């Protein structure tokens, strides 16, 4: 079976890239699969072939359109093409980035009216919306892999796709690599955090859309709580200034990109991600597997795994008071001896890489039949 997986570029901190890497590493062990990655650029290519497709581009619109056209020219040489980009003509599309129209609507909640107006004229966003619509209605498309029910239901509603074209396959996680054992990697002393302080972790790029401002404001009344912010953002200095203006800078550590994210999980007691829109971030699966309860938003696919007050809390992305209340319950539960870590670990434990690979393989075989 000749299988092509399409992802444009590799970002070692990107959730989609980590999903592709994990899937490739597992699928490459299957002798019945001949796996090729179609990409502009990729690192750590081992166990599979990489077909480099790298046409020149002037801007992000020509970058997306050029890669889509060049990659699609190779589709006929494969039995199954699984695309992680919005390219019409693939057999399978994995909607790891969700629905672009939904993302624009959610991001608009924190934009000024002028910015929203200007965005409506963006040729890039118009291209993505058009490519998305063409892809979902293309006759070659046979399956859409969604990483959450939230995304599945959104696609069905917006594009009128039949139920048999939509399937949910949750992100897998290496439950040995990400486990409560990461506590041994704690950096509390190195990062100047008291040994007994309750610590929240935020992990991800795109601080504005993923809710760093909400997380900073949420810890204001909880003077014992510390916050770790791990990830790259070109506007990080703006959020450092916000922490200072809120009076919480002494309890916040802006770590930048962290080579081993397990150090962050090992230092923290919970993960906070008040994201405007995230189909299902890998960081949520990883943190839960490490025993961290999750505070996240209704716009995050991981919310469907949360049992309120047992393994986490779900609030609107912009509901600062709601997150403050959730932190109050979390802190009270810690004092009462609630074992949030065990509940979090039990949530993620079934979603292994092997389970994810098995579901993908079953999907491919079903398509070939």
DSSP symbols for 36-78: EEEES--S---SSEEEE-----SSHHHHHHHHHHHHHTTGGG-
Judged on CB neighbours under 10 Å (0-12, 13-18, 19+), 87 is: buried
- Identify whether residues 258 and 138 lie together within a single domain: no
Sign of CA dihedral 227, 207, 175, 302: positive
List 294's β-bridge partners, or say none.
Answer: 271, 312
Measure the CA–CA gap between 105 and 299, rounded to whole angstroms: 11
**What is the domain range of residue 124?**
2-172+352-368
Encoded tokens for 348: 């993620």
- Identify whether residues 296 and 202 lie together within a single domain: yes
- What pLDDT was estimated at residue 173? 92
Measure the CA–CA gap between 213 and 209, rounded to whole angstroms: 9
- What pLDDT was estimated at residue 122? 94
Contact 219, 227 (CB under 8 A): yes
- Identify whether residues 141 and 242 lie together within a single domain: no
- Identify whether residues 363 and 329 lie together within a single domain: no
Encoded tokens for 252: 């916040």
pTM of the model: 0.91
CATH of the domain at 154: 3.40.50.2000
- What pLDDT was estimated at residue 10? 66
Pairing of strands 199-203, 166-168: unpaired
In 169-300, beta strands by DSSP E? 199-203, 226-230, 252-256, 270-273, 294-297
How many structural domains are present in the chain? 2
- Identify whether residues 358 and 338 lie together within a single domain: no
- Identify whether residues 108 and 236 lie together within a single domain: no
Measure the CA–CA gap between 296 and 301, rounded to whole angstroms: 9
- Identify whether residues 362 and 284 lie together within a single domain: no
- Identify whether residues 197 and 75 lie together within a single domain: no
- Identify whether residues 232 and 319 lie together within a single domain: yes
Measure the CA–CA gap between 70 and 106, rounded to whole angstroms: 31
- Identify whether residues 153 and 233 lie together within a single domain: no
Per-residue pLDDT of the chain (369 residues; tens, 9 = 90+): 888 989 988 665 566 666 777 677 777 777 788 888 899 987 655 667 889 999 999 999 999 999 999 999 999 999 999 999 999 999 999 999 999 999 999 999 999 999 999 888 999 999 999 999 999 999 999 999 999 999 999 999 999 999 999 999 999 999 999 999 999 999 999 999 999 999 999 999 999 999 999 999 999 999 999 999 999 999 999 999 999 999 999 999 999 999 999 999 999 999 999 999 999 999 999 999 999 999 999 999 999 999 999 999 999 999 999 999 999 999 999 999 999 999 999 999 999 988 988 898 888 888 877
**What does residue 219 show for φ and ψ, rounded to 5 degrees?**
-85, -5
Measure the CA–CA gap between 218 and 189, rounded to whole angstroms: 24
Measure the CA–CA gap between 87 and 90, rounded to whole angstroms: 7
- Identify whether residues 160 and 25 lie together within a single domain: yes
- Identify whether residues 84 and 224 lie together within a single domain: no
Q: Give the 3-state secondary structure percentages of the chain, helix then strand then coil, rounded to 5.
A: 45, 15, 40
**What does residue 170 show for φ and ψ, rounded to 5 degrees?**
-70, 155
Report, in angstroms and rounded to the nearest whole number, the Rg of the chain calculated over CA atoms.
21
Measure the CA–CA gap between 231 and 340, rounded to whole angstroms: 25
Closest CA to 75 of 145, 146, 6: 6
Measure the CA–CA gap between 5 and 42, rounded to whole angstroms: 12
Sign of CA dihedral 227, 148, 22, 24: negative
Tell the residue number behind the tokens 């992802």, with chain if given.
7
- What pLDDT was estimated at residue 15? 62
């Amino acid at each position: 079976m000749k299988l092509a997986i399409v992802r444009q570029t590799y970002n070692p901190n990107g959730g989609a890239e980590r999903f592709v890497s994990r899937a490739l590493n597992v699928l490459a062990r299957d002798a019945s699969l001949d796996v090729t990655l179609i990409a502009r650029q990729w690192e750590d290519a081992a166990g599979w072939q990489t077909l480099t497709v790298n046409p020149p581009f002037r801007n992000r619109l020509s970058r997306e359109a050029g890669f889509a056209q060049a990659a699609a020219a190779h589709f006929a040489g494969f039995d199954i093409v699984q695309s992680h980009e919005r390219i019409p003509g693939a057999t399978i599309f994995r909607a790891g980035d969700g629905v672009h129209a939904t993302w624009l609507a959610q991001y608009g909640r924190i934009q000024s009216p002028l910015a929203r107006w200007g965005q409506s004229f963006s040729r890039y966003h118009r291209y993505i919306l058009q490519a998305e619509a063409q892809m979902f209605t293309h006759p070659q498309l046979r399956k859409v892999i969604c990483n959450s029910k939230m995304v599945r239901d959104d696609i069905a509603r917006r594009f009128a796709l039949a139920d048999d074209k939509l399937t949910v396959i949750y992100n897998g996680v290496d439950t040995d690599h990400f486990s409560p054992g990461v506590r041994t990697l704690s950096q509390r002393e190195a990062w100047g955090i008291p040994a007994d302080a309750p610590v929240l972790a935020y992990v991800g790029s795109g601080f504005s859309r993923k809710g760093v401002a909400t997380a900073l404001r949420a810890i204001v009344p909880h003077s014992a709580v510390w916050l770790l912010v791990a990830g790259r953002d070109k506007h990080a200095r703006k959020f450092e200034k916000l922490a200072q203006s809120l009076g919480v800078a002494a309890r916040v550590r802006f770590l930048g990109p962290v080579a081993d994210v397990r150090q962050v999980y090992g230092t923290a007691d919970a993960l906070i991600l008040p994201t405007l829109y995230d189909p299902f971030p890998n960081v949520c699966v990883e943190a839960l597997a490490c025993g961290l309860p999750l505070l996240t938003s209704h716009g995050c696919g991981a919310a469907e795994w949360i049992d309120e007050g047992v393994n986490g809390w779900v609030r609107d992305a912009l509901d600062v008071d709601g997150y403050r209340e959730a932190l109050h319950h979390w802190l009270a539960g810690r004092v009462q001896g609630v074992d949030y870590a065990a509940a979090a670990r039990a949530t993620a434990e079934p979603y292994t890489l092997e389970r994810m690979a098995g579901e993908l393989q079953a999907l491919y075989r079903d398509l070939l039949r």
